[in-house]
Structure 1
Amino acid sequence: MPLTAQFVRNLQRFRLVTFDVTDTLLRLKEPTKQYAETAEQCGITGINKAQLERCFRQQFKLMSRTHQNFGRCTPDMSWQSWWLQVVINTFTCMDASLSKAKLQTVAEQLLVIFRTSACWTHIEGATDFVQHVREAGKCVGIISNFDPSLHQVLSAMGFNDKFDFILNSYDAGVMKPDPAIFQLALQGLNIAPDQALHIGNQLDMDYTGARNSGWSSLLVQPKQPAPASAPEPGDPARHTYASLAEMLLALETQAIAW
């Protein structure tokens, strides 16, 4: 479908448009179910999925706090060993008597599976949105708090040739919302911060992080009830859309006040 004149005008000021990945372009397909199924294939039965879900969330938060950025900030810890430990800790939290050998096998299998299309699905409208931005002649990139397997995941999901660069937090050595990761994305491009737009799904990491770095930003997030009056300048609500499809439609049909 040809680009609308309004879409071109809305993006005219930008030379670079970047996207977050998880829950912006791609979504995990029932990760806890995948954990349980893989464990059962390795001989671990009787799994309480609700308890597994609670343990995963607890252990993921704990590992993220004690070994930040997928282990990047911990000497001698690789991102692979970080994820292996998350899996082992999750199942141990659920049942401390489980065989360590079996848990190691489960963790190693999950490390592979979660880098394939078996565990991911496209967000509706993501492919069209990225293609529209490319057709508008923009440099298109990824800025994501993710480990280095991000390239593999994007390739598995058919996004391997859609981006001019892919920047993950592990390789960058810094995570959103730190301005350093947004600055790093501009290096070598000769693009000023006010010529860059970031699109993501987290208010602090994506929307505020980009704006605090001198960028413009748009937020994909379920909206709260509409306020009685129009959003004030600086209010994220004026740049928040319930879906990528809704955001794309607005860019195609409405003048956006950046």
Structure 2
Amino acid sequence: MKNWILLECCLGVSPMKIHSGFDEEPEGEAWYVICRFMPEDLDEYLKKTRDGRGNAPRVDGPTKQAILDLVVRPYLANKASRNALDWNDLAVLMARTTYEKYDIIIVDESQDFTANMIRGVLKQRDDESSTTFIIDTAQRIYTGGFTWIEVGLVIRPEASHRLHVNYRNTPEIAKLAASLISPVTLDEDGTQPQLAGLEDNRRPVVLCGNAPDQMAWCINYVKTQVDLTKESVTFLHPLGWFRDLRLALPRLGSWNMSKSQRAGIGRGLRMLR
């Protein structure tokens, strides 16, 4: 929220009201060009390699020139004549002006940032600061791309750490995801899920019926299948559905709960909904 307010104060316009004057911004290659290069550097597009196209064919020189002359520059000129802004203009403004000086910056999902967005982030750093980019181009949503060097960064090997182990989802989901991206050529910022050593989990059980019967099944399962000296159990409920849970949990003999703890079960579980 602070950043939205910052932009509104500095630019004199609410970002939520920004509109380029067109029904929609240019798509595909043209929008990629606008967001990768600063306005004064658009001709660099003719010489740069297009990163982040996946398996899409390369765009040749004459086509690049046509995209600049017939789409990009007319769009920018029309926008300027309307005195309008688009989202890339915000990135460009931030790349040119320091509005805030941050000591620590953490950028998540960096693979979906444009080059100009990264430039805008870097311009807001303090002289002595720490900036962390969390990136996996295997998860890229938008077909963009840039190199770290062109945005002014040199990523040293000792400052880069790759996370190979997947903690986000089950082995089954990880294997499915890996099969879907296997045809994709990954760059140095992409990571294929590590599947070696993964064991298939037990499938979840879906309970039907009324709440007391479901709770009885859960209590029996905990008693017969869970070693509470080594494992923990959490019950998640929508807010307000704690009556049967309060009555059932004390029946677990290995749970040594005081009266005050039993009274606080509902309050504690509300925090986990």
Normalising by the smaller structure, the TM-score range is: under 0.3
Comparing both chains, which one has the higher relative contact order based on Cα–Cα distances under 8 Å and sequence gaps of 6 or more?
1
TM-score by length of 1: 0.28
More strand by share: 1
Kindly name which structure, 1 or 2, has the bigger radius of gyration based on alpha carbons: 2
